[in-house]
């Protein structure tokens, strides 16, 4: 193929240059009154433009015909896994999964799945709720899980850029909501915990979060309380000593009840054609056509969801974007690997992203369109896992499109949580409008 291109292209370039020289010397030069030197100078200037155009066309042709040799090396991306206390296997990290031929919209189930080794019951859930709000589980007795996960005023988050822990220490990450965490296959921003049980122990023992020294200390404090001894017996059905493992199990059982299947989106998917506004319907269509569903799919609106999820992690930012410096998106100058966040109740859980650097949902949409979908200019791109090259629209999405997508994201908010946030006086006029 290379020889064929050379055999065709080289004679074409020579013929074109000869034709250009003839036209300048016999027609354009005399018309402009140029001497011989001027004619050759003009020929050279036109010739450079002609050659530049030829090179550009050759590169475009090579990209189309020889993608393995041209584009494939550019797809290799340097990424770094976020720092965490535990190592984990991310498996295959695909920044651009295949687009589904027909996307299926799903409502959130009414109940979360339970593990076989920790079935829930009313007593265990009640104990877990008590432990979720228990300040004895912090080093100095001032914090509980609920301190960073305000269930109703802040929709299970804390409205801070990053978490505020014991002794007023500021953590490095934005607080994820606990609502619908039961439907996620990975917990924490870096996904280092695979279960709610595993996640529950992390903040309690983290020195900059709740700061408790050891699991034994948690057990000692709870055993001193006779009412806790009774609650553990009711929850677990025996008189075994209170253990840190059972503390985690009870909290996890409670968190599996924190689900919100009552969003306008869910009502729409279940058959209520009036549940979404025209703007939200337009945003829903754009959410699919722009490509947001490539990562935020399934009833959890996350590929890290237990239902419909396939690849829990993504490189972020996947594409070079002008937002990198503005919002400090890189880790030590490198791209990070993050669990895909759920978009359930996302309109209520700002500020956003792993570092809480974005305080407007509209800007989150623009950042993700640019960083993850490459919507910052027109270019050829890999469109699917079959390594087929195609042309995709990569122009920035417009303000009207952004507004419609934000309106749709508002439709993912639980009616109950919207009411709770409203009572706290924390919903702005603009946000209140999109949540109607």
Confidence band, pLDDT 50/70/90 cuts, at residue 40? confident
By mean pLDDT, which of 2-6, 203-207, 416-420 is the weakest? 2-6
Query: Which of 35-39, 67-71, 236-240, 298-302 has the highest average model confidence (pLDDT)?
Result: 298-302
Confidence band, pLDDT 50/70/90 cuts, at residue 234? very high
Confidence band, pLDDT 50/70/90 cuts, at residue 88? very low
Q: Does the structural domain 264-434 have CATH classification 1.10.760.10?
A: yes
Answer with the residue of higher pLDDT: 363 or 35: 363
Residue 224 has pLDDT above 90, yes or no: yes
Answer with the residue of higher pLDDT: 7 or 294: 294
Q: Contact, 241 vs 219, CB < 8 A?
A: yes
Residue 374 has pLDDT above 50, yes or no: yes
**Could you tell me which CATH class the domain 122-255 is placed in?**
mainly alpha
By mean pLDDT, which of 75-84, 136-145, 330-339, 402-411 is the weakest? 75-84
Q: Contact, 242 vs 222, CB < 8 A?
A: yes
Q: Any idea what DSSP says for residue 346?
A: G
Helix, strand, or coil (residue 187): strand
Answer with the residue of higher pLDDT: 109 or 25: 109
The whole-number pLDDT of residue 270 equals 98
End-to-end CA distance of the chain: 60
Q: Any idea what DSSP says for residue 300?
A: T
d(CA 221, CA 217): 6
pLDDT in tens, 140-179: 999 999 999 999 999 999 999 999 999 999 999 999 999 9
Instruction: Kindly list the domain boundaries of the chain, sorted by start residue.
Output: 2-65, 122-255, 264-434
The whole-number pLDDT of residue 37 equals 76
In sequence order, which residues have a C-beta less than 8 Å from that of residue 218 and are 6 or more positions away? 136, 137, 204, 212, 244, 247
Q: What share of the chain is helix, strand, coil (3-state, %, to 5)?
A: 45, 10, 45
The whole-number pLDDT of residue 36 equals 74
- Residue 337's H or E segment, with its range, is strand 335-339
Residue 98 has pLDDT above 50, yes or no: yes
Q: Contact, 304 vs 185, CB < 8 A?
A: yes
The whole-number pLDDT of residue 410 equals 98
Q: What is the pTM of this model?
A: 0.77
Confidence band, pLDDT 50/70/90 cuts, at residue 420? confident
Same fold, 122-255 and 264-434: yes
Confidence band, pLDDT 50/70/90 cuts, at residue 41? confident
The whole-number pLDDT of residue 25 equals 65
The per-residue pLDDT of the chain, averaged, comes to 84
Helix, strand, or coil (residue 293): helix
Answer with the residue of higher pLDDT: 383 or 208: 208
Residue 246 has pLDDT above 90, yes or no: yes
Residue 377 has pLDDT above 80, yes or no: no
By mean pLDDT, which of 33-47, 192-206, 208-222, 311-325 is the weakest? 33-47
Helices (H), 144-225: 145-148, 196-205, 215-223
The whole-number pLDDT of residue 362 equals 98
Residues of the chain above pLDDT 90, percent: 66
Average pLDDT over residues 88-94: 45
The whole-number pLDDT of residue 400 equals 98
Annotated catalytic residue within 209, 288, 324, 362: 209
Phi, psi dihedral angles at 356 (to 5 degrees): 60, 30
Helices (H), 97-137: 122-132
Residue 75 has pLDDT above 60, yes or no: no
The whole-number pLDDT of residue 50 equals 64
Average pLDDT over residues 238-262: 97
209 has catalytic annotation: yes
Q: Contact, 394 vs 375, CB < 8 A?
A: yes
Confidence band, pLDDT 50/70/90 cuts, at residue 102? confident
The whole-number pLDDT of residue 376 equals 81
Q: Contact, 192 vs 86, CB < 8 A?
A: yes
Residue 198 has pLDDT above 90, yes or no: yes
Confidence band, pLDDT 50/70/90 cuts, at residue 21? low
d(CA 294, CA 412): 17
Average pLDDT over residues 414-433: 65
CA angle (250, 251, 256) in 5-degree steps:
100
Edge-to-edge strands of the sheet including 79-80? Answer: 79-80, 335-339, 313-316
Average pLDDT over residues 76-98: 49
Residue 369 has pLDDT above 80, yes or no: yes
d(CA 327, CA 420): 30
């Amino acid at each position: 193929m290379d020889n064929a291109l050379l055999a065709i292209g080289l004679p074409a370039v020579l013929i074109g240059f000869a034709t250009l020289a003839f036209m300048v010397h016999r027609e354009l030069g005399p018309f402009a009154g140029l001497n011989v030197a001027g004619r050759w100078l003009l020929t050279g200037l036109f010739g450079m433009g002609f050659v530049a155009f030829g090179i550009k066309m050759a590169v475009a042709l090579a990209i189309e015909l020889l993608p393995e040799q041209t584009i494939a090396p550019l797809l290799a991306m340097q990424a770094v896994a976020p720092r965490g206390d535990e190592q984990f296997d991310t498996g295959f990290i695909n920044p651009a999964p295949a687009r589904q031929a027909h996307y299926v919209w799903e409502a959130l189930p009414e109940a979360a799945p339970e593990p076989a080794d920790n079935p829930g019951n009313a007593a265990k859930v009640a104990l877990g709720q008590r432990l979720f709000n228990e300040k004895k589980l912090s080093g100095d007795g001032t914090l509980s899980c609920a301190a960073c996960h305000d269930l109703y005023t802040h929709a299970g988050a804390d409205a801070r850029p990053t978490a505020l822990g014991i002794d007023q220490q500021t953590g490095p990450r934005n607080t994820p909501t606990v609502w619908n965490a039961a439907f996620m296959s990975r917990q924490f921003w870096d996904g280092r915990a695979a279960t709610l049980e595993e996640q529950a122990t992390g903040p309690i023992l983290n020195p900059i979060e709740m700061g408790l020294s050891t699991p034994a200390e948690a057990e000692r404090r709870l055993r001193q309380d006779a009412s806790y001894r009774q609650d553990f017996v009711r929850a677990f059905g025996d008189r075994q000593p209170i253990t840190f493992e059972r503390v985690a199990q009870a909290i996890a059982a409670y968190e599996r009840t924190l689900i919100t299947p009552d969003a306008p989106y869910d009502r729409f998917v279940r058959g209520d054609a009036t549940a979404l506004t025209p703007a939200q319907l337009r945003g829903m269509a754009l959410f699919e056509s722009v490509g947001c569903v490539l990562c935020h799919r399934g009833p959890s609106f996350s590929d890290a969801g237990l239902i419909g999820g396939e690849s829990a992690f993504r490189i972020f930012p996947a594409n070079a974007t002008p937002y990198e410096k503005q919002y400090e998106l890189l880790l030590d100058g490198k791209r990070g690997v993050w669990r895909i966040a759920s978009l359930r109740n996302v309109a209520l859980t700002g500020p956003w992203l792993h570092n809480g650097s974005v305080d407007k949902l509209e800007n989150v949409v623009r950042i993700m369109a640019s960083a993850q979908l490459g919507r910052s200019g027109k270019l050829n791109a890999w469109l699917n896992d079959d390594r087929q090259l195609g042309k995709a629209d990569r122009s920035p999405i417009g303000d009207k499109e952004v507004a419609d997508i934000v309106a749709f994201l508002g439709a993912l908010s639980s009616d109950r949580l919207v009411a709770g946030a409203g009572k706290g006086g924390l919903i702005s006029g603009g946000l209140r409008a999109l949540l109607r």
